[in-house]
Amino acid sequence: MANLSRIIFHIDMNSYFATCEQQANPHLRGLPIGVCEHLGGIIIAPSIEAKRLGIKTGTPVWEARKIDPLIVLLPVDPPKYREITRRFLRIFSDYTSLVERYSIDEAFLDVTNLIGAGEYPWSTALLYALEIKQRIRLEIGEWLSCSIGAAPNKLLAKIASDMEKPDGLTLIKPEDIPGLYERLNLTDISGIAYRMERRLHDLGIFSLSDLRDYPEEELRQQFGIVGHYLHELGALRNPSVFELDDDQIRIIETEPHPLKFEAKSAEAYPPSPRATADDPLRTDVRLDIRTYSRRRIKSMGHAYTMPAATDDPETIRRLIFKLSEKVGKRLRARSFAGSVVSCYVRYATRGNGESSGEGRGHRIHDLISDGRDIFRAAWKIYQSFHNGHPVRMAGVTVSGLAANVADEPLFERYRRAKRVIMAMDRVNDKYGDFFLRRAFLLQARALASDTVGFGRMKEMKYEPMA
């Protein structure tokens, strides 16, 4: 069923953005707080105290205030969270070189070689997990906690870390695996959401054991290649990390690889508005990620929810342009270019509390990474479906990616444009995103500011160690 010789940790930081704020600001400790992109949007990270009141991730700000009028709302502070992530990754690297950063607040560790072939490997794993928890509190901050799952593979380790929150520690040993079929629901498995669960119910699959026993060929007939991964989930195996959404599948081929660190002090202090060489939460910690986990990136995108819905075409145009520039910057940083541009929006909430959205994609006959080119395609897509309703959220994605795209343009006018973009990237890398920007974006400063989500992690800047 699984490779029983391995021991994998999945470490998930609890209420991460909120506890980072409480660690940095002691007067917030013990209070219900919510971190949000802006005060007219949604709570992207409620504190443990807020969760106990029923305020969840994704709760609209107005609803959170209705539940608790005294909730403290804070703007998202990405540099602070990325810096603390660097710190706990450094701790993890003390135990194994096989560290896979899965998102900004979670990571997988292969500790098989650390534990060795002793008489009581799982007891040893328990002691190391407890030590990691203690080091996070001592070396980063006493208000930060994590849930750790230990198991023979990554899927089981992630399931284990979800079993006890906050500040949990759960082991799933090989002999415990059969009992999981009675304990877990389908949606307890990472990768099966409620829409997929409904489709499985239509096939008569109501439990994890039903999924395990369902013929793989019939799953393939219903779902295509997704059927294979559903079968693997039912068997509690994970040859790769994947996410399922209806009949779409996103496969992330990952293997942990050695990770090296060199960094400054690990005391936790709130970051200053602009990091300096003397700031203990400086953002230029040096990382060598030349042998980081290998991920097959299929798309890059950005989305932004505005404080209030708008039907002003110029505001929407500037937002889509800025999102396109952000996507282009990320593509160029990884030497990618793409041939498929998608644009999507979500409209204002109706009186019944429901909202609708729309989006389309378009394949172009070129590989692009310039934000202006991305915008031209995205804006044309938006104009093709927009129905005049006020827009609350907009997003732009580029897919059909090709790596190492650095061909020199044939004509001088295109070479000139490429040199300008490269110069802008160098300046913005040094002084911050959009320090230099196209004139059209001068009035878009407040739109789509820097943020960070749990499902992805913005690329961390680093300098290779000598």
At 9-25, the pLDDT tens digits run 999 999 999 999 999 99
Range of the domain at 41: 1-171+286-293
Phi, psi of 260 (to 5 degrees): -115, 150
Cβ atoms of 275 and 284 closer than 8 Å: yes
Residue where the block lists tokens 């080091």: 135
215 phi, psi to nearest 5 deg: -60, 130
Answer with the residue of higher pLDDT: 255 or 390: 390
Spatial contact of 44 and 17, defined as CB atoms under 8 Å apart: yes
Task: Provide the pLDDT confidence category of residue 393 given band limits of 50, 70 and 90.
Answer: confident
Task: Provide the angle, in degrees to the nearest 10, between the axes of the packed helices 16-24 and 78-93.
Answer: 100
**Burial of 376 per CB tally in 10 Å (0-12, 13-18, 19+):** middle
- Supply the pLDDT for residue 253: 37
Residue 305 is predicted with a pLDDT of 81
d(CA 454, CA 14): 12
Q: Domain for residue 271, yes or no?
A: no
State the amino acid at position 16 in one-letter form: Y
- What are the C-alpha distances in Å from 201 to residues 46, 99, 186, 223, 391? 32, 37, 10, 14, 35
For residues 233-259, average pLDDT: 51
Question: Do the Cβ atoms of 148 and 9 come closer than 8 Å?
Answer: yes
178 domain-assigned: no
Average pLDDT rounded to a whole number, residues 326-330: 88
> What stretch of H or E contains 73?
strand 72-75
CA dihedral 60, 64, 67, 69 (to 10 degrees): -140
pLDDT at 443 over 70: no
Axis crossing angle, helix 412-431 with helix 313-333, rounded to the nearest 10:
90
Give yes or no for a contact between 356 and 307, defined as CB atoms under 8 angstroms apart: no
The answer on pLDDT for 407 being more than 80 is: no
166 and 305 fall within a common domain: no
d(CA 198, CA 420): 51
Q: 62 exposed, middle or buried (CB, 10 Å; 0-12, 13-18, 19+)?
A: exposed
Q: Output the domain CATH number for residue 350.
A: 3.30.1490.100
pLDDT score, position 438: 59
Q: Which of 7, 257, 261 is nearest to 114 (CA)?
A: 7
Percentage above 70 pLDDT, the chain: 71
DSSP conformation class of 459: P
pLDDT, residue 386, reads 85
Q: Which of 86-95, 111-120, 193-202, 442-451 has the highest mean pLDDT?
A: 86-95
Output the pLDDT for position 58: 86
Instruction: Kindly report the length of the chain.
Output: 466
| Per-residue confidence band for 223, with pLDDT thresholds at 50, 70 and 90 | confident
Predicted pLDDT of residue 436: 56
- Reduce the DSSP state of residue 140 to 3 states and report it: helix
User: Residue 49 maps to which CATH number?
Assistant: 3.30.70.270
H helix runs in 25-153, sequence order: 48-52, 61-67, 78-93, 112-115, 121-135
Tokens 């000598």 -> residue = 466
In 3D space, the residue among 279, 168, 180 whose CA is nearest the CA of residue 233 turns out to be 180
Same domain? For 2 and 149 the reply is yes
Helices 78-93 and 121-135 pack at an angle, to 10 degrees, of: 140
Beta strand extents in 140-285 (DSSP E only): 146-151, 169-171, 241-245, 248-252, 260-262
Please indicate, yes or no, if residue 45 is contained in any of the structural domains.
Answer: yes
CA distance linking residue 381 with residue 371, whole number of Å: 15
User: Alpha-carbon torsion 33, 301, 197, 356, what sign?
Assistant: positive
Position 191 in a domain: no
Q: What are phi and psi of 94, to 5 degrees?
A: -70, -20
User: What is residue 263's predicted lDDT score, i.e. its pLDDT?
Assistant: 30
For residue range 329-355, what is the model confidence (pLDDT) as tens digits? 888 888 888 899 999 998 876 655 556
Give the pLDDT of residue 453.
53
Judge whether residue 459 has pLDDT over 50.
no
The span from the CA of 352 to the CA of 63, in Å, is 14
Answer for the pair 110, 98: CB distance below 8 angstroms, yes or no. yes
- 110 assigned ligand-binding residue: no
In angstroms, the CA 380 to CA 182 distance is: 51
Please choose, from the candidates 431, 436, 311, 461, the residue with its C-alpha nearest in 3D space to the C-alpha of residue 371.
436
User: Could you tell me if residue 197 is inside a domain?
Assistant: no
Residue 312 counted as an annotated binding residue: no
Per-residue pLDDT averaged across 356-372, rounded?
85
Q: Which residue has the higher pLDDT, 252 or 88?
A: 88
Whether 361 is in a domain gets the answer yes
- pLDDT of residue 138 exceeding 90: yes
**Hey, what's the torsion of the CAs at 276, 277, 282, 285, to 10 degrees?**
140
pLDDT of residue 117: 72
* pTM of the predicted protein model: 0.62
Q: Which residue carries 């299929």 as its tokens?
A: 298
Are 314 and 337 a contacting pair, CB within 8 Å? Answer: no
Domains in the chain, number:
2
Q: Which of 84-98, 270-284, 372-386 has the lowest mean pLDDT?
A: 270-284
- Average pLDDT score over residue span 309-313: 88
Assigned domain for 12 exists? yes
Band (259; pLDDT cuts 50, 70, 90): very low
What average pLDDT does the structure give for the chain?
A: 78
- Whether the pLDDT of residue 291 is over 70: the answer is no
Catalytic residues, which ones? 106
The pair of three-digit structure tokens given for residue 435, joined into one six-digit string: 């320090």
- Please report whether residue 117 resides in a domain: yes
Question: How many Å from the N-terminal Cα to the C-terminal Cα in the chain?
Answer: 43
Confidence of residue 252 (pLDDT cuts 50, 70, 90): very low
308 shares a domain with 162: no
Last residue of a domain, one of 246, 267, 293: 293
Mark which of 228, 261, 293 sits at the end of a domain: 293
